[in-house]
Structure 1
Amino acid sequence: MAPRFKNLDGSIPQSFNTVFKWAVADKLAGRRRKSPDRAPVPTVEPDLAALATPPAPGEGARLTWLGHASWLVQLDGLSLLIDPVLRDAINVVIRRNVPPGVPPEKLPPITASLVSHNHYDHLDLPSLEQVRAPIVTGLGHARLFRGAKLPCTELDWWGSTKVGPVTVHYVPSQHWSRRGLNDANEMLWGGFVIEGSSARLYHSGDTAYFDGFKEIGRRYPGIDAAMLPIGAYDPAWFMSKQHMNPEEAVQSFEDLGARHFMAMHWGTFKLTDEPLNEPPQRLDAEWTRRAWPREKLHVLAVGESLTVRNG
């Protein structure tokens, strides 16, 4: 059966053969880079009193990194979650390196959860069920949430919906999807542009570097903060078609024309072969090489917040 969805360039980066070569053949042959399953990653205690009150209209947006690709985004009196994965492990096997920045029971009331795609490190059904907020995601996902009785709004690329006063746009990424044995690429993958009264935000979801960043920047100029992945890139022969390395993430930031770089997708789960704490080191080196302003780069600690606004 032909895949239902493809990338903008017509590609589908995954096949059984490439997964088997990386996961099994190269491992057995000793060709994979070895690194520890654990590493020190900065964490801070979240300011729960501040998080209890989202910024009002005109006050910008508060972004709190919860680890991996999970964010608490608060603006215009609302609290949104993006890709909340808040349990101790994904898929039973892969355990967290650091706890979530805010435990689910201490989150403020959530208006909606935005889910970029169906991979288990981005769509964690138990976390979403615990939060009990309506879902905004890509085409093909609603059936996953029917049993949990979670309302779901599905969007195609470039589609939009309103969450209270906030507009959420679903935008392309360069990736793929699979949740079971027989559902490859039957659910759409993507990222989000979130527009409020005084901030425009971008979350890429999972993505390789692709020309779509320039188009997203063209359609949504003036992005105040771009949440961009910097980890899960080694080995490049396998990962570069689905994830960015730190240098590519910096180039995507330039393509988007965004004002602030917010690093994510590193340090939480050991998914690939690079050391867990290597991505921010490479990111810092690339930023230094380009001699860009340091105040635009943000590698938050898990649990840390930053407020951004227009202008």
Structure 2
Amino acid sequence: MKRRTFLTALAAAAPAGYLLTTVDFNSDTTLNHTYNPKLPYDRVPSDWKGTPRLSNGLFQNLHHPFEASLAAVVKWKFSKNPQEEEKKTDKRRLEVHQMPNPLPSGKDQLIWLGHASYLMRLAGVTILTDPVWIDNWALKRHSKLPLVPDQLGKVDYILVSHDHRDHCDEATLRLLGKLMPQATILTGMNMSPLLKPWMPKNPIQEAGWFQSYDLKESLRITFVPTRHWSRRGLTDTNQRLWGGYFIESGDRSIYFMSDSGYDRHFKLIADTMGSPDYAIMGVGAFKPEWFMHPVHTSPMDAARAFMEMGGKHFIPMHFGTFDLSNEPLLEPLDWLKANPVAVDGRMIYPVVGRNLLA
């Protein structure tokens, strides 16, 4: 296999991993802070300076700098998975309910479409998060999509949390750009050059952490920190900002984590934005933990973060749809069902295609 093909295959096989980069992480750089001057800050931590960005242009996590290691990903991919046989024999899949068409009008909705993709309808506004709906060479769905895309109807906002392929799929976004060119893309800084060729008619807003988007409706969506990283090709590590979303309507608040390792930012978000009514937390793609924990929360870490945030309802995601790591597809849900006290009995059981709002 040619060297470039091998590295590209590793990138597909290890979407949460650390891959070869041309960036010298030991070079002399200074830490700066940045933001989008076109967007407001509504609420920020008391000592907030802006989104961390190195003088070489690369974005930075708040507390733990990202470091790339080809050796680590090679060690993982060429080590024996102790759960390999268990994964082969475990044929269980997520429960999927086909969604009605059209959706009931005038009712708030929070519908899981698999992995990190949700359809939300809040105060009459329709939102999609991280739509990855079409199989490609890197990702194959193990849970059926519960809707027909061209029957979805009007969508106001599409949230793209970062550039990794299990959250940002070119084929899906090209399709949505044709079906709903009026939808505004809400994303992180420096994502436009990636997204605009796929969705040339869609307006795009880029935010720094704790900045709120410019929305017409009585809805507030704020881009918030995660402990993660970004990469699309072989030489663009951390050139685009990653993050999650804090979504507020008149009577509900929803925290959408996206991808994140455990860190102090969860408590920081709650202290700044308030405790969320619904916390949508990633729980899958967490093994081997020595490799995954800086960038993905395990169900144990997600439960801990949820309790620190003081959320009312816990909704697990980022498991069961794509096979990204060593654990069986439904192991995160198994752990949460066996340990309900970890989230104080506040978990909403996740079913693809069903409205999860209590």
Letter aligned with residue 115 of structure 2: H
Q: Secondary structure of the residue that 1:255 maps to in structure 2? A: helix
Letter aligned with residue 210 of structure 1: D
Letter aligned with residue 193 of structure 1: F
Point out the structure with max Rg over C-alpha. 2
Query: How big is the shift at 1:297?
Result: 0.8
Equivalent runs, 1:217-256 vs 2, <5 Å: 217-256=270-309
Equivalent runs, 1:135-154 vs 2, <5 Å: 135-148=185-198, 149=200, 150-154=202-206
Q: Secondary structure of the residue that 1:94 maps to in structure 2? A: coil
Aligned to 2:160: 115
RMSD between aligned alpha carbons? 1.8
State how far apart, in whole Å, the 2-side matches of 1:155 and 1:144 are: 15
State how far apart, in whole Å, the 1-side matches of 2:354 and 2:93 are: 16
Query: How big is the shift at 1:258?
Result: 0.9
Query: How big is the shift at 1:169?
Result: 0.2
State how far apart, in whole Å, the 1-side matches of 2:356 and 2:333 are: 18
Equivalent runs, 1:170-249 vs 2, <5 Å: 170-249=223-302
Letter aligned with residue 171 of structure 1: V
Q: Which of 39, 45, 60 pairs up with 1:6?
A: 60
> So what's the TM-score if we normalise by structure 2?
0.78
Q: Which of 261, 283, 299 pairs up with 2:336?
A: 283
Query: How big is the shift at 1:16?
Result: 2.0
Aligned to 1:158: 210
* Percent of aligned pairs sharing the same letter: 33
CA contact (8 A) 1:230 1:265 kept: yes
> Is residue 261 from structure 1 mapped to residue 314 from structure 2 by the alignment?
yes
Query: How big is the shift at 1:33?
Result: 3.5
Distance 1:265 1:196, change over 3 A: same
Q: Secondary structure of the residue that 2:268 maps to in structure 1? A: helix
Aligned to 2:49: none
State how far apart, in whole Å, the 1-side matches of 2:186 and 2:110 are: 18
CA contact (8 A) 1:13 1:242 kept: no
The size of the alignment, in residue pairs, is 293
CA contact (8 A) 1:54 1:62 kept: no
State how far apart, in whole Å, the 2-side matches of 1:207 and 1:12 are: 12
Distance 1:3 1:75, change over 3 A: same
State how far apart, in whole Å, the 2-side matches of 1:278 and 1:271 are: 13
Query: How big is the shift at 1:300?
Result: 1.6
Letter aligned with residue 119 of structure 1: H
Query: How big is the shift at 1:45?
Result: 1.9
Q: Secondary structure of the residue that 2:150 maps to in structure 1? A: helix
Q: Secondary structure of the residue that 2:357 maps to in structure 1? A: strand
Deviations 1:199-240 (A, max 9, x none): 111100101111100011111114110110111001011011
Equivalent runs, 1:118-133 vs 2, <5 Å: 118-132=163-177, 133=183
State how far apart, in whole Å, the 1-side matches of 2:273 and 2:149 are: 31
Query: How big is the shift at 1:140?
Result: 1.1
Q: Which of 144, 147, 155 pairs up with 1:102?
A: 147
CA contact (8 A) 1:54 1:78 kept: no
> So what's the TM-score if we normalise by structure 1?
0.89
Aligned to 1:15: 69
CA contact (8 A) 2:81 2:326 kept: no
Distance 1:155 1:66, change over 3 A: same
CA contact (8 A) 2:59 2:241 kept: yes
Distance 1:285 1:105, change over 3 A: same
Deviations 1:92-137 (A, max 9, x none): 1331101123231232311010011100000112212222322100
Letter aligned with residue 197 of structure 2: G
Aligned to 2:347: 297
Q: Once structures 1 and 2 are overlaid, which stretch shifts more, 296-305 or 188-197?
A: 296-305
Equivalent runs, 1:51-90 vs 2, <5 Å: 51=103, 53-55=105-107, 61-87=108-134, 89-90=135-136
State how far apart, in whole Å, the 2-side matches of 1:202 and 1:168 are: 10
Q: Once structures 1 and 2 are overlaid, which stretch shifts more, 30-39 or 97-106?
A: 30-39
Structure 1 residues not aligned, in runs of 5+: 56-60
Letter aligned with residue 110 of structure 1: V
Distance 1:66 1:242, change over 3 A: same
State how far apart, in whole Å, the 2-side matches of 1:168 and 1:63 are: 15
State how far apart, in whole Å, the 1-side matches of 2:349 and 2:132 are: 19
